[in-house]
Amino acid sequence: MLLSVMAVLAASTPAAASVTAAPAALSARAAAPKKPDLVCKTEEVTGSMFSKKVCRRKAEAERDKAETQEQIRESQRVTTGFRH
C-alpha cells in the first residue's frame, strides 16, 4: 500500500517524467543502427620503410578493389597501331 502511494506521488512530480523517459531513451539508443563495418589493412608507402594502417568502410574497400581490378584489366589489354 505504501509503495503504491509513493509511486503515485512520484509519478505526479515533474522529475518523475524524466525518470520514466530515461528507459525509453535507452531503448532508442539500442534500436539505433550500428556503425558501418570497417575494413583495416596495412599498406606500404612508396619511398618509405614504414607502412601505414588504412581503415575504410566495407563498401568503399570493395569499390576500390573493383576499380583497381578494372585498371589492371585495362592495362593488360595491349593495343598496337597495326590493324588488319
β-pairing, 51-57 with 38-44? Answer: antiparallel
Residues 27, 44: one domain? no
pLDDT value of residue 77: 82
Confidence bin at 32 (pLDDT 50/70/90): low
Residue 56 counted as domain residue: yes
Quick one: average pLDDT of 32-38?
75
Band of pLDDT at residue 16, cut at 50, 70 and 90: very low
Q: Mean pLDDT, to the nearest integer, of 8-25? A: 55
What residues make up the domain containing 52?
Answer: 38-76
82 falls within a domain: no
72 and 56, same structural domain?
A: yes
pLDDT of residue 40: 92
CB atoms within 10 A of CB 60: 13
Q: Are 25 and 12 in contact (CB under 8 A)?
A: no
* Count of the separate structural domains present in the chain: 2
- 47 and 23, same domain (yes or no): no
